[in-house]
Chain A
């Protein structure tokens, strides 16, 4: 396809063509009006004068007779008003007037005629326009004007009108073509960029001209979308490499253990290895399930699964579930939950998130001095939000590490000695995002306080 044929096929060009037709018609109408009001007006006035003169002379003829009218004509000729007169007898003899002879085409019924006249010494031929009428007795009366200048004026105006119409059409067409080509070039830019992106270069962006027009707005929002996709892709890449690492390590351990158990001949040792293998595969499964839960929460398609629920109830239930085990571990769990907190929630996911927070607090929240974890779980309403917090009395997380621990598989060095997969807080974070809330980690002085904020449902719903 040549670039030109592409222009003709473009929708912009079609639009331009339609506009051009409207444009030409309206310009033509304006020019026609101008023409009618200038050249046309003069011609109409001339015709009017001639017709009145013919009428006047006919009246004179009826009143004054032939001689009288000849007198009037001669007087008028002498006045030299530039009007052409001619009065001939039925035989064709000239009775009065300033023409040499009656124009040959002045025959029959009264009518308008154009005829050639010779003017002045140079014998220049001009065009005359006249009206003739037959009077009673067979006399013919002709009154006319030299319309040479008028005709020239009319022709000039006509030419000017036609030329300006032509010019307008050419300019409109050329302008349309230019606009169309410019627009097409920008569309082509976007098409080209998207093709490059489809081929895998996600760093490519749509061209933005900077004019802030519709195309720019389109390109800008496409670019925002691309950035979001790129971020997600980068996140996914990172996750899969993390998954690969965190799943391969235990798998390698398992494989090594099974291999050595196979080599060993001792059934006791083999049994121990098998038991350990099951334990490890269960742990792997937990990691895998946690990853799936995070993926599910992040996909956001369970948002429609959110139902009106009482967050206070969910918090009370989870606290009740964990209280015995915290006490068993020598700590304490104090729940400060009052009233109801209506929110839209997925009970399972929210409970899982809370259980992760409490589990973390239980694992890492022991006070250095007493080696006991004092956990406090609070839930209350504040400024249209349900605020749920879990605090412990451990060493906490340094401020500069707090955002890092929300990432998948990130475990701080201090926690590496404890069991876990580094997914707990990531899951909490994605679950809370799914609920349209926020998770913040703060200093409980001493200890860590994890605060969840969920939008409260308006009253009466």
Chain B
């Protein structure tokens, strides 16, 4: 986790694409909340704040937000109860759960209650932003595609083949999975933790940066011999596959 050098690129990018989101933050810690709101707004999104569970539930029920960021421990009504209530009322807004409880068991509890992603405190803002944007995309993504595309790279999920500019690229199964996740999130930053969780399904910190080497191996396979690198490193944040 490192502070990204600059958010402005993302911000401009989002505004240009009209991908600004309306995000509801349900968080009782004033300082954490204002820092979060400031960060989200700087990234080009619109953010609302609810300082306790009841207000949060009432605002979330209106279902006008693209993503909810819900703290687990809240005054009046706890985070998991909010999510359960919303899901019972068929409100499907994607939810990112924030919690100081980092246990795998706690994560499972959160996801079972109807949360879509789980982030343990403390977190880097870049990590949170990448996940929130990922959630909003997942909402629009049917997940039924059998072909994925980013620039001149194409993936066939059925035959498990990859081509770039028509040239076949041979990938190991894990590399294929890694590329699939990156391409599904093409145009957006994907953090190392997101990769570790989604591609390897590991929810612990391996201490050594094992992911970087995997990504650079993948890069050498898909970018070698092409002028325009497709898989970019976003300094201090993660990786991104260009979509244009």
Binding site for B on A (CB under 8 A): 274-275, 278-279, 281-282, 285-286, 289, 292-293, 296, 302, 305, 317, 320-322, 324-325, 327-328, 346, 348-349, 351-352, 355-356, 359, 362
Query: Residues of B contacting A325 with CB < 8 Å?
Result: 208-210, 212-213
1/0 contact string of B194-214 vs chain A (CB within 8 Å) = 000000101111111110111
If A278-B1, A278-B2 touch, whether A302 touches B105 (CB-CB below 8 Å) is: yes
B122 CB–A CB distance under 8 Å? yes
21 A-B residue pairs with Cβ-Cβ distance under 8 Å, sorted by A, are A275-B2, A278-B3, A279-B2, A286-B205, A292-B103, A293-B204, A305-B105, A317-B200, A320-B174, A321-B206, A321-B210, A322-B210, A324-B213, A324-B217, A327-B213, A348-B104, A348-B204, A352-B202, A352-B206, A355-B202, A362-B208
Query: Residues of B contacting A321 with CB < 8 Å?
Result: 200, 202, 206, 210, 214
Query: Residues of B contacting A317 with CB < 8 Å?
Result: 200
Cα distance A302–B174 when bound, in Å? 29
Contact A289 B102 (CB under 8 A): yes
Query: Residues of A contacting B105 with CB < 8 Å?
Result: 302, 305
1/0 contact string of B11-31 vs chain A (CB within 8 Å) = 000000000000000000000
Cα distance A324–B102 when bound, in Å? 28
Interface of A: prevailing SS: helix
Query: Residues of A contacting B213 with CB < 8 Å?
Result: 324-325, 327-328
Query: Residues of A contacting B1 with CB < 8 Å?
Result: 278, 282
Contact B3 A296 (CB under 8 A): no
Contact B102 A348 (CB under 8 A): no
User: Shortest CB–CB separation between residue A323 and chain B, in angstroms?
Assistant: 9
Contact B207 A286 (CB under 8 A): yes
Contact B102 A292 (CB under 8 A): yes
Known: A289-B102, A351-B202, A355-B207. 12 other contacts (CB 8 A): A274-B3, A281-B122, A282-B1, A296-B103, A320-B174, A321-B202, A322-B210, A324-B210, A324-B217, A325-B212, A348-B203, A362-B208
Contact A359 B207 (CB under 8 A): yes
Contact A324 B214 (CB under 8 A): yes
User: Shortest CB–CB separation between residue A253 and chain B, in angstroms?
Assistant: 18
Query: Residues of B contacting A305 with CB < 8 Å?
Result: 105
Q: Which listed residue (A278, A293, A302, A359) contacts B206, Cβ 8 A?
A: A359
Cα distance A302–B1 when bound, in Å? 28
Interface of B: prevailing SS: loop
Query: Residues of A contacting B200 with CB < 8 Å?
Result: 317, 321
Sort A-B residue pairs by CB-CB distance and give the 7 closest, nearest first: A324-B213, A352-B204, A325-B213, A348-B104, A355-B206, A328-B213, A325-B210
Cα distance A278–B174 when bound, in Å? 31
Query: Residues of A contacting B214 with CB < 8 Å?
Result: 321, 324
Cα distance A351–B205 when bound, in Å? 11
Query: Residues of B contacting A293 with CB < 8 Å?
Result: 204
Query: Residues of B contacting A286 with CB < 8 Å?
Result: 205, 207
User: Shortest CB–CB separation between residue B99 and chain A, in angstroms?
Assistant: 13
User: Shortest CB–CB separation between residue A275 and chain B, in angstroms?
Assistant: 7
User: Shortest CB–CB separation between residue A274 and chain B, in angstroms?
Assistant: 8
1/0 contact string of B201-244 vs chain A (CB within 8 Å) = 01111111110111001000000000000000000000000000
User: Shortest CB–CB separation between residue A104 and chain B, in angstroms?
Assistant: 105
Closest residue of A by beta carbon distance from B203? A348
Cα distance A9–B209 when bound, in Å? 70
User: Shortest CB–CB separation between residue A424 and chain B, in angstroms?
Assistant: 8
Cα distance A282–B206 when bound, in Å? 13
Cα distance A352–B213 when bound, in Å? 19
User: Shortest CB–CB separation between residue A366 and chain B, in angstroms?
Assistant: 15
Query: Residues of A contacting B104 with CB < 8 Å?
Result: 346, 348-349
User: Shortest CB–CB separation between residue B193 and chain A, in angstroms?
Assistant: 12
Query: Residues of B contacting A346 with CB < 8 Å?
Result: 104
User: Shortest CB–CB separation between residue A273 and chain B, in angstroms?
Assistant: 13
Query: Residues of B contacting A296 with CB < 8 Å?
Result: 103
Cα distance A279–B2 when bound, in Å? 7
User: Shortest CB–CB separation between residue B230 and chain A, in angstroms?
Assistant: 19
User: Shortest CB–CB separation between residue B227 and chain A, in angstroms?
Assistant: 26
Query: Residues of A contacting B103 with CB < 8 Å?
Result: 292, 296
1/0 contact string of B55-72 vs chain A (CB within 8 Å) = 000000000000000000
1/0 contact string of B78-108 vs chain A (CB within 8 Å) = 0000000000000000000000001111000
Query: Residues of A contacting B204 with CB < 8 Å?
Result: 289, 293, 348, 351-352, 355
Contacting A at CB under 8 A, from B124-148, are none
User: Shortest CB–CB separation between residue B141 and chain A, in angstroms?
Assistant: 26
Cα distance A99–B222 when bound, in Å? 145
Cα distance A356–B204 when bound, in Å? 11
Query: Residues of A contacting B122 with CB < 8 Å?
Result: 281, 285
Query: Residues of A contacting B174 with CB < 8 Å?
Result: 320
Closest residue of A by beta carbon distance from B215? A324
Closest residue of B by beta carbon distance from A305? B105
Query: Residues of B contacting A359 with CB < 8 Å?
Result: 206-208
Query: Residues of B contacting A274 with CB < 8 Å?
Result: 3
Most A-side CB within 10 Å, residue of B2, B202, B203: B202
Closest residue of B by beta carbon distance from A363? B208
Cα distance A282–B102 when bound, in Å? 15
